[in-house]
Every structure is written in structure tokens, then in C-alpha cells.
Structure 1
Amino acid sequence: MPMSPRLPLLSHLIENRDGAVAIIVILAAVPMLLAVGASIDYIRAYNSRTELQSAADSAVLAAAAKYKSGMPEATIAKTINAFLSANGKFETAVAGKPEVASDESELCLDVTDGVPTTFMKLANIQSVPIGIRSCAALPGVKQLEIALVLDVSSSMIEENRFTPMQTAVAGFLQAFSSNSSLVDKTKISIVPFSSRVNFGLANTGWLKSYNGAAAVPKRWTDPQSVYSSSYKLSYWIDGVTPVMATTKNYYWMGCIEPRADVEVRDEGAIGDYGMSDASPDTAAFVPMDANPKSGTSFCPPPVTPLTGDFAYLKKAVANLTSEGSTRLDAGVVAGWYTLSPKWQGVWGDQSSPAPVSDSVHKVMVFMTDGEMNTKYNPNDKFDWICSQTQSSACNTFATSAMLTACTAIKKSGIEIYTLSYSADADVVNIRNCATNTAHFFTASPATIKTVYETIAAAIRGDTLRLTQ
């Protein structure tokens, strides 16, 4: 049978594959091109999401800055929408309802948008949805509790550092008292320390008799019977804590022996309360006079507990005096006493220190111009903390105790700024006490005012910040 004329044609088409390969390549290239195009569209969407996050952060910070307690949702939304619409890129963005936390500590906002596609339109995908969430702390309602722990040892006055420090701290107080959005929400304590700290005669109920000494020594209640007529009697601004003074020395009444010292004397080591924030109800204090070698001239003015009375605080700073050696551990722990919720109501203000919460920002600002200076010679002035280590090694022991307290304070939710005010200060350990290296500062009499201004600005700025 003769071959059909169609067979050679079919055979030729089968043998010639060039066209088929081209078709296959084209068909395969289409999804590859779509994939590449989709990645470009998604990159554009990612970049738009980053820009939207930035715009929403600015909007929520602006709304947080203007927020007042109980502000209507519509008023908050108006500020947010104004910021978003001011950025022409996000005219199609949709902002959700502003969310204010139940304790008014935080404002949150969800924003969504769609980024038009270019290549993905080939697959009938017109846009890529994006969404962000932005949250900010509300400064108008956040409560501030700040402890200013101040070294007032004798080196401060001897090296002409004392007056510049007073000026700097007064400026710090002014930074908060002049801020209308913070003044009613800020309480500050002043904690002067040298080799001891002073609770003042308003708080003698916290004391116990010890080592044959009365809980409230006669020297405190009748100082004129103890000191000669060359000493002048006057009182602290609380009206009850006396001081006997000459032109060179101040003998303040009301200082206590550090708990750590008493524990080392009694037990041979620092115990449960030495570096803790236990209240006087848990562990009573021992008056300084129970240690006959404590050096009664080494007592600073009394602690001023947390208060929003800025006139009183400024007066307290202006009336500080300088005397004594340097017990960094005593200062750190006393600052903690003024911030710890375990002391709520103990200082007299039933609302302070407040419980730890997202609506309360607790800060300690610790300043010293020195290093640990324990008295370890039992034949001279003597600190009981050195009972087991009667050498310069006692300074290392006390410094380690201080750092233990710093760690516990930070773990309790308190932020710590530290300030080294001299080239002779223990820079390494003062820095280690701080929350982090950004919370550590060095200063001189020429720069200390600027440093306190910087710390005040950081604390105020932290009340207006993004939280998400």
C-alpha cells in the first residue's frame, strides 16, 4: 500500500523540536517572572510597612503627649488622624480605635493599609495588606518616685564640690517642679549620706536599745547637757531634729548603725536584713550611739522622704551640711528605703512609696565623690562591719555588699543612675551599680549641673516613650 503523504509531514514535525522547546521555555518563564515580580511587590510592601510604623509611632507619641486623664476617644483619634493624613503616603491608611489601658499607663493604636501591586496584578492580586501596632506610655498619668542619694562626706566641702552639687540638685528639682504635666505626679526624696544615714528624731520609734545604749540616747534628746557652751543648738527644717554646731563641725542627732554592721558584729556575717529593704516593723534599727567608736561627728542631716513639696525639697538641699567619711553601702540601702513599697506609710505618707506597677516609674540617682572608706582600726573610730576584717580588705567586703544591694534594687524594678563626682571615686563599682553603662556619668564641679540636667531630661523623656 502506498504511504500516505501526511506521514512524512508528521514525521518532520516530530523530528523538528525547536518550536516546542521555545514554547516550553516561555511557559516556564511566566511563573518565574511572576515570582520575581511578587518578591518586588512584597519588598515594596515591607518598606511601606516600615514607613507606616514610623508614622504611627509619631502619631501615637503626639497623642500621648497631649493626653489627659479621661480624655474622650474622639479627641485622641483626631490627633492621630491628623498626623497620619499629614503624611501623604498614607491617605488610604485606616487607624483603629485608640486603646487606653485601664490604669491609663499606655496608649495603643492599630493601623492597616494596602500597598498596590505592580507585577502581582497579573495574578489578579491588586494589593498587599499591611498592619502595624504602636503603643506609647502616657506621661500625664505616670507617677514618678525619685530618690536623690547624695554623698555629703567631708571631702565634698574640702575639695569645693559641695556648693556646685547643691546648685545642680536644685536645678534638677526645678526641672520637675516647672513641668506642668509632671509636677503633680512626681515625688522626690533627698538621702544625704556619709559614714551613716540619719532618720531624724521624728522616727525614733524605729529604734531599739542595744549594747547597753538606750533606743533614743540622751545626747539626742538633751544635747545641751552633753556639749559645751561653744556649740550652738539649732534644728533641721523638720523642726525636731537637733544639731550642735561650731564654725567647723556639725553634730547631728538621729543617725543609725547600718544593719549590715550590727549583723556582722552579732553573727560574724551579713545576714538577712543587712542589704535588704525590710521595714522597721520587720527589723528595728540600732542608734549610732550604741557603737562608742562610731564617731558622732560623722552623722549627716536627716533623710527627707518622698514628697511633692518642692519648696521643702529645695530648702532641704540648701540646708545640707558636709561631714564624715564615705559608706557607699549605707547610702545605697537608705535610698532603697525611700522607694521600696515595703516602706509604704512608714515615712508618714500613707500612699508612698507606691507599689511597683506599670504606672509608677521608680528611679534612684546616686552621687558620690569617693570610694568605700570603712573605719577598720579597732583602736580608733571603728565600723562594726569590719569586725571580721580589721584591715583595708574591709572596704572590699563592704563594696561587695553594696553591689549586692544594687543588684537587688534593680531586680525590684527600680532604675539606677550613678554619678562619679571625682577622679578619686570608685568608678568601676559605681558604674556597676547603675542600671547599665548609659546610666553612669562622670562629673566635675564645672559640669555637675549639666549632668544633673541630662539625667532629669532622661527621666522626663522616659515618661514619653514607645512601649511597642
Structure 2
Amino acid sequence: MITAILALPLIFAIGSGVDGARYYSARAKLQNATDMAALALAASSEQDRDVLGQLAASYLVANMSGADVEGLDVSVTSADAEQIELTASGKMPLTFMRLANLVDVELDADARAMRSPIRNVELALVLDNTWSMSEQDASGISKINTLKEASRELVNALITTDDSPVRIGLVPYADYVNVGTTNRNAAWLDVGKDYSVPPSEQVCVEKTEKTICLAKKPTYACTRTVDGVAEPATCGGECTSQEKQTVPPYKSCSGGGSTTYYKWYGCVGSRKPGTTRLDDQSPTVGYPGYLETSQKCLSPIVKLTNDRPALLKAIDGMVIKVGDYKPYTYIPAGMIWGQNVLSRTEPFDDGADYDEQNVDPRKVLILMTDGDNTLRFNANNGRHISLSSPASKAATEVSETNKDTLSICTYAKSKRIEIFTVAFMVSNSTAKTMLETCASDAKHYFDASNRSKLLSAFSGIARSINQVRLAH
């Protein structure tokens, strides 16, 4: 009994520490969500407090998703052409401290954001959707889900009204990009008709001999690497001794089977002639489309739009595999289609003319990847294919792919496109150097070594594009 009584102070000390840590975490998240809501409202032209209050509430709820906070409330305390002021509050339920009859603790936050002049913005989100994005961090959250969260917050911060001057295009890339099957008959596309191959006639012969394996190497657990991700596999098992043996007569058949269907799923490679793959100056040169028996590219590109629900739906719909297809990384494919999304010329001509000062419209490209290039360009068919062996030759091929990436970056910058690059949990120093070189300058490069830094990078980019700022 005495021991139990003496243990109470220790229990309360531990409990207050746990609840205290939860409190500071929830308070920080509420402040960040309030800041993001203020910035989003400041980026809009809306001044009606009722409308702003509804928008602020929706942003706060969206950005507090998953937080252990109840009774969220937000109010717009000031709104004019120059600034927005918000206050937010909520309650965090306590756990251990309920033993001391403390049920919850109140949270509050406030934010003031300065508005900026409204200008047209065109933004291409070039996002890595390769298989390596399946990896999880220490908290069990996959890279792709963190990217989706960061992208949603960016879209919510930049597009705040139905008539927003900000238009965003989405380019999910991996080894290829998907331009959408609705473009099947476009002049800039070179793709044949879908077709099928009937099975060959089945031919059977009678045989009385078989090759029998007498001994095999032992099998053992091993790993294989797919786009930098180590996966469990089984190795060994090869036959080491075999002989032909006479067996009772049996039928051995070849051919037959079912019809094989080839169709176009929207997948395209790189332009083949010369260096046409590295810029948008050859609109009459077609992009090769590939007929496959199954889909070998991911979610389709979304052209420039200010339709926020459509963009959010496309972001949520991003995938990193289709069936057994687990794609590798070819960054030039993403970069050139980011350029195409912003370009005035075909294949996509939704972009406005380039502004020599990149002011109106302000054209921006965000390139995000979680690793280095793992494929090379094949000039014969425009495909992006596996690296060669040995490793020294593969390194040379990666270097060539990196050069192509930087060539597209250089061309985009020559058109005054502002480029942000984000390295998400990238360990390869060469890949980091490439991304930093691709960016408009050092301040446009983000080395996001973990989940929170990726979210912070996208948040910072959104603030930069909005040209709004928090006032303290």
C-alpha cells in the first residue's frame, strides 16, 4: 500500500510529461495550420468576412486532419486589401492527467498574413511516382503519402477561389509519363492502332525421353533491388546435374493458348531525332506511344487548370505501381512534360506566352524526386531502358541521363521559367548536385531529408509563389 502511494508522484510526473509532449505537438500543428489558412486567404481576392470565415474553417479542418484536437474554431478578425488576421482555438483531450481530474487543455493560435498584388501564375508540379516512393519512414508513413499531403496543402494554399489567377498542371512521372488516352489522335503523337495476335496452331508430338534434373543448388533467402528498394527474394535452386531418361510415351505440345491483345494506355517515350527530346522547339516531331499487353505507365498528366477539386482528386489518385509493374526513375521524362505543360506550343498549348521577365504570367516548375536516375535513353525507339553491366558502364549511362535532365533545366531557365527542386530523402550526392544545379538558384533547392522537411519545403514554395508573407 505504501509502495503504491509512493509511486503516485512518479506516475503523475510521467503522465504530465507525456501529455505535455502531446500538448506542444498539437499546439505547433494548430499554429502551422492557422498560418497556412491565413496565407491561403491572403492569396485570394476575397474580402467578405463570412466567406473568408468559411474558407478559413475548411482549410483549418483539412490541415488539422489526424491531429488529436477537438472543438476546432477559427475566426477572421481582420480582412482588407492589405492583410488577413485569424485566430483559432481547440481543445486537446488529456490521457494520464485525467487521473488528476484534468480532462483537456485549451489551445490557441493567431496569424496575420500580408496580401500581394494579383498576377497570373502557371505552375507545373513534376512529381516522382516511382516504386521507391513506396518506402516508409520511421512513423510508417510512405513517401508517396507524404508527397500527396504536401501537394494537397500547396494546391489549397495557391488556389483559393473558382476564378483563381493561379493555374496548376500535374505531371506524375516514373520511367514514362501518361499523356492520357484522350490524346490518341493528336498530331504530336506517333502511336499505331491497337491490335491482337491470335494463338498459333497447337502442335503436339509424342515423346519417350525427358531431361531430368538430378541435383540442384540449395535455395536461400536473398534480396533484389527495384528502383533502389530492396525486396525479399529466393535465390539458388539452379540445376547442377541432369540427364536424359527414357519415360513412358507422352505428348509434348507447343503453340495454342489465347489471343494476345496490344493497346495504348497513354504511355509515351522521348522524341527520337537528335536533341528534340530536350526542349519544346519541335512541335511537329511526334512523341512515340507504345502498345502494350498491360499498362506500363502511371496516372495521366493534368493540364493547367484552376479547378482545385480536380487537382486534389488527381493528387489523391497518384499511384506507384499498376499490377506487377513497379516503375524505375527517368527524370528527363518528367522535366520535358513539365516544360510542355507550361509551353505555348504543342503538345499542350494551354500555357500563355512566355514573359521575358516572368512576371505575368509567372511560370514556375517544381521538380521533386526521391533518388537518382536509374534508366537510359534508347535513340532507336525513344524508350527508357535498363542500365547496362558492368557497374562502370551503368555509371556512365546514368551520367548521360543526368546531362539530359540538366539540358532540359537549362532550356526551361532560358525561357525564364522559375525552377524549384526538392530532393526527398535522397542520399546520392551526385543526384543532389544535379537537382541543385537544375534549380533557379541555391534558394530554390530543398534538401528534404524527412517527412516534416518535405512538408515545410512545399509550404515555403507556396508562400514564395503566393508572394504573401506572415507578419509578426
Q: TM-score, normalised by structure 1?
A: 0.53
In structure 1, the residue matched to 2:172 is: 192
Match of 1:258 among 242, 245, 270: 270
Q: Which amino acid aligns with 1:446?
A: S
Aligned-pair CA distance for 1:176: 1.4
Aligned residue number for residue 165 of structure 1: 147
Which entry has the higher C-alpha Rg, 1 or 2? 1
Question: Which 5+ residue runs of structure 2 have no aligned equivalent?
Answer: 1-41, 46-114, 137-141, 200-262, 322-326
- d(CA) in 1 for partners of 2:442, 2:186: 36
Report the CA distance shift for 1:66/1:409 in structure 2 as closer, same or farther (over 3 A). Answer: closer
Map 1:380-395 to 2 at 5 A. 383=384, 391-395=394-398
The Cα offsets for residues 50-72 of structure 1, whole Å up to 9 and x where unpaired, read as xxxxxxxxxxxxxxx9998xxxx
Is 2:439 aligned against 1:434? Answer: yes
Of 422, 440, 453, the residue aligned with 1:419 is 422
List aligned pairs for 1:42-441, cutoff 5 A: 139-159=116-136, 160-178=142-160, 184-206=164-186, 215-218=192-195, 253-259=265-271, 262-263=272-273, 271-278=274-281, 280=283, 282-289=284-291, 298-323=296-321, 324-343=327-346, 347=348, 352-357=350-355, 358-374=359-375, 383=384, 391-425=394-428, 426-441=431-446
- Alignment match, 2:324: none
Supply the distance in 2 between the matched residues of 1:354 and 1:172 (Cα, whole angstroms).
22
Distance 1:360 1:449 in 2: 26
Go from structure 1 to structure 2 and tell me whether the alpha carbon gap of 1:452 and 1:183 turns closer, same or farther (over 3 Å shift). farther
Matches within 5 A, 1:9-48: none
- Cα root mean square deviation, aligned: 3.7
Q: 2:451 aligns with which of 423, 445, 449?
A: 445
The CA distance in 1 between the partners of 2:445 and 2:304, in whole Å, is 23
How far is the alpha carbon of 1:285 from its aligned partner?
1.2
Greater per-residue helix proportion: 1
CA distance in 1, matches of 2:295, 2:371: 19
> How many equivalent residue pairs?
276
Q: Quick check: 2:264–2:289 contact (8 Å CA) kept in 1?
A: no
The 1:420–1:322 alpha-carbon spacing in structure 2 relative to 1, beyond 3 Å, is same
Measure the CA separation in 2 of the matches of 1:326 and 1:310. 28
Distance in 2 between residues matched to 1:209 and 1:309, nearest whole Å: 26
CA shift at 1:207, angstroms?
Answer: 6.4
Question: Are the equivalent residues in 2 in contact too, given 1:208–1:286 (CA < 8 A)?
Answer: no
The separation in 2 between residues aligned to 1:156 and 1:175, in whole angstroms, is 24
Is residue 352–residue 361 contact of structure 2 (8 Å, CA) maintained in 1?
Answer: yes
1:141 deviates by 3.9
Structure 2: distance between partners of 1:308 and 1:316: 13
Q: Deviations over 1:361-403 (max 9, x none)?
A: 00001100010111589xxxx736979x974411111110110
- Specify whether residues 139 and 360 from structure 1 end up closer, same or farther in structure 2 by C-alpha distance, changes over 3 A only: farther
Contact 2:375-2:385 within 8 A present in 1 as well: no
CA contact (8 A) 1:326 1:372 kept: yes
Q: Mind listing any 5+ residue stretches in structure 1 that lack a counterpart? A: 1-64, 69-137, 226-250, 264-270
Q: What is the CA-CA distance between 1:337 and the residue it aligns to?
A: 0.3
Displacement of 1:168 in angstroms is 0.7
Q: What amino acid is aligned across from residue 185 of structure 1 in structure 2?
A: P
Q: Tell me the CA shift for residue 177 of structure 1.
A: 2.2
The answer (yes or no) to whether the contact 2:365–2:420 under 8 Å persists in 1 is: yes
Superposition deviation, residue 423 in structure 1: 2.9
Higher strand share: 2
| Distance of 1:366 and 1:209 partners within structure 2 | 24
Aligned mates of 2:279, 2:336 — CA distance in 1: 7
SS at match of 1:331: helix
Q: Which amino acid aligns with 2:183?
A: N
2:117, 2:414 → 1: CA distance? 26
Q: Report deviation, 1:205.
A: 2.1
Q: Give how far 1:188 is off.
A: 0.1
Q: Percent identity?
A: 25
- Describe the SS at the equivalent of 2:299: coil
- CA–CA distance in structure 2, aligned partners of residues 459 and 328 of structure 1: 23
SS of residue in 1 equivalent to 2:304? strand
Offset at residue 327 of structure 1 (A): 0.3
Amino acid at match of 2:421: T
Native 8 Å contact 1:363 1:414 kept in 2: yes
Does the 8 Å CA contact 1:374/1:386 hold for their aligned counterparts?
yes
- Please give the alpha-carbon distance, in whole angstroms, between the structure 1 residues aligned to 2:374 and 2:148: 23
State the Cα distance separating 1:252 from its structure 2 match. 8.8
Whether the 8 Å contact between 1:208 and 1:215 is mirrored in structure 2 is no
